[in-house]
Amino acid sequence: MVSPISHLPLIIVLLLSFSLANSASLQESFVQCLNLNSDRTFPFYSSIYTPSNPSFTSILDSSAQNLRLLVPSAPKPEFIFTPSRDSHVQAAVICSKKLGIHIRVRSGGHDYEGISYVSEIETPFIVVDLVKLRGINVDVKSNTAWVQAGATTGEVYYRIYEKSSVHGFPAGLCTSLGIGGHITGGAYGTMMRKYGLGVDNVLDAQIVDANGRVLDREAMGEDLFWAIRGGGGGSFGILLWWKIKLVPVPPTVTVFTVTKSLEQGATKILHRWQEVAPYIDENLFIRVIIQPSSDGRNKTQRTITTSYNALFLGGARTLLQVMKTSFPELGLTRKDCLETSWIKSVLYIAGFPSDTPPEVLLKGKSTFKNFFKAKSDFVREPIPETGLEGLWQRLLVEDSPLMIWNPYGGRMSQFSESETPFPHRNGTLYKIQYLSLWQEGDKNAAKHIDWIRKLYNYMGPYVSSLPREAYVNYRDLDLGINTKNSTSYIQASAWGYRYYKNNFDRLVKIKTKVDPQNVFRHEQSIPPLPL
């Protein structure tokens, strides 16, 4: 599908000159350009928010998850544009390119370093927020759905559930993620061991490219279609729609959460989990949430709790058999198990209270929003108990640390490393996510960031190396940052091989071909090679 806009005579574009003297005129020039490049009758002014607009702050903050990037000292956009049609996104690309305005794209706002709404490397910049573009068309007959970038994972799950109780989609556990940004980096969830990632279940897409054209899979070609399925957001174009493949889910699934403290033998059980969880029945996903908590008996004495939080695609009886055979150490009993529907398991895993109706998923409600810094690692060999004990010592001295361990294996091992840009496949036992959270007004933000960096150093010997792999959807600017002159391949290789392994080189080649002028750029966007 190619839009008529791409046929607009270039001469009109070139004849216009704009004053960039101040932000008012920048905004005016942008609106003028939008009007020229799309349906003139549309009142663009009402979808543009400058800092003087009373709604500016609430729109900017709305979907942003990391409050660390919303503090007053964080760079703010000149304005936010909220397109309400696909053609407006095309016009935004054409106009930002023509006016030389740096553009950031936001779908669900969950970027860990806030790069969808903050630019540390370039001013002025604008935010194109796709919040109004959230169409979802589910077609159960063909097992597919077309989903627009601004829709959340929760909305997608709900719209599937509305049409069928035996279909689902294997993407994020968190229900407020924007489908646009989320799938670009991989997208894992509780069904990854059975069905792989979100990117493994994408059939087609529509993107706006660097020239403002809308391209589907056929028009963009297999190279670019490969790149957008895991090559990270904000590098290759603006995703408008994903066509996803629905997967079967049983009418009854089982969830449980079993918690073990150090006093209850947590270290030994977790050591065993590393050997079991990646190889167990692929219908079973057992993640572990690890944090310090106060010991019930002595409030000044903290312990470590490990919570085994799981989804089984089947009934409790079968689950208990699987656990008895493969992981008796956890001591799972029938009364730990809750049999429920797939959609309710989504609410359970996302942490909603037990009687929350599924309709909450339509509110795009986030259960997170924190000041935080996070990092990730992939583990290929079990960490010895002594390594775990050193980890507990480090967690015990931090205010609000959190770790989440996600098992791999199953379907994840059946893809080659280069099948999609997401390379963390066969041989990966599990992924670790480290977080430190804090409250507003905490003067110790720097101390918490320092703590997590030291923890990361401590973990070095126990995790993947050469490269030390990281998950691009858990973006971490400590791994390296493109400066304004971001065409440096050397600079970008600092993080590129960690996120993509050798796929990084292919991503750079594709980027050089489809966006040689680097229209889509940010702190960790794929660099084009110099022409």
Ligand X SMILES: Cc1cc2nc3c(=O)[nH]c(=O)nc-3n(C[C@H](O)[C@H](O)[C@H](O)COP(=O)(O)OP(=O)(O)OC[C@H]3O[C@@H](n4cnc5c(N)ncnc54)[C@H](O)[C@@H]3O)c2cc1C
Q: Which residues bind ligand NAG (CB under 6 A)?
A: 298, 300-301, 413-414, 426-427, 485
Closer Cβ to ligand X, 117 or 312, answer by number: 117
Residue 94 binding target from ligand X, ligand NAG, none, CB below 5 to 8 Å by type: none
Residue 348 a catalytic site member: no
Phi, psi of 89 (to 5 degrees): -70, -40
Partners of 255 in the β-ladder? 311, 338
Per CB under 6 A, 177 contacts ligand X: yes
Q: State the pairing for strand pair 125-129/102-106.
A: parallel
Interacting residues with ligand X between 58 and 87 (CB under 6 A)? 65
The binding track of 345-374 with respect to ligand X, each residue x by CB under 6 A or -, is: -----------------------x------
Q: How far is the CB of 361 from ligand X (least distance, A)?
A: 14
Interacting residues with ligand X between 449 and 508 (CB under 6 A)? 473
Interacting residues with ligand X between 196 and 235 (CB under 6 A)? 233-234
Contact 133, 214 (CB under 8 A): no
Q: How far is the CB of 373 from ligand X (least distance, A)?
A: 12
Residue 426 binding target from ligand X, ligand NAG, none, CB below 5 to 8 Å by type: ligand NAG
Contact 286, 308 (CB under 8 A): yes
Closer Cβ to ligand NAG, 255 or 412, answer by number: 412
Q: What is the full DSSP assignment across 493-529?
A: HHHHHHHHTTHHHHHHHHHHHH-TT--S--TTPPPPP
Element (H or E) spanning 258, and its range?
Answer: strand 253-261
Compute how many residues bind ligand X; rule: CB under 6 A: 35
Kindly give, in sequence order, each residue whose CB lies less than 8 Å from that of residue 247, ignoring residues fewer than 6 positions away.
167, 168, 169, 170, 191, 194, 195, 201
Q: What angle do helix axes 445-459 and 385-396 make, rounded to 10 degrees?
A: 170
Q: How far is the CB of 286 from ligand NAG (least distance, A)?
A: 21
C-alpha distance from residue 136 to each of 94, 144, 151, 233 (Å): 26, 11, 7, 20
The binding track of 238-257 with respect to ligand X, each residue x by CB under 6 A or -, is: xx------------------
* Piece of 47-55, 100-108, 274-282, 335-343 that binds ligand X (CB under 6 A): 100-108
Task: Return the SS3 of 157.
Answer: helix
The binding track of 184-203 with respect to ligand X, each residue x by CB under 6 A or -, is: xxxxxx--------------
Q: How far is the CB of 200 from ligand X (least distance, A)?
A: 12
Partners of 373 in the β-ladder? 436
Kindly report whether the peptide bond that precedes residue 467 is cis, defined as omega within 30 degrees of 0: yes
Give me the catalytic one of 158, 188, 348, 474. Answer: 474
Closer Cβ to ligand X, 196 or 233, answer by number: 233
Per CB under 6 A, 288 contacts ligand X: no
Task: Return the SS3 of 401.
Answer: strand
Residue 186 binding target from ligand NAG, ligand X, none, CB below 5 to 8 Å by type: ligand X
Cα angle value 333/335/341 (rounded, 5°): 110
CB-based closest residue to ligand X: 233
Q: How far is the CB of 64 from ligand X (least distance, A)?
A: 8
Task: Return the SS3 of 117.
Answer: coil
User: Identity (one letter) of the amino acid at 31?
Assistant: V
Which residues are catalytic, by number? 474
In the complex, the residues that contact ligand X under the rule CB under 6 A are: 65, 104-112, 115-116, 130, 149, 172-174, 177-178, 180-182, 184-189, 233-234, 238-239, 368, 473, 522
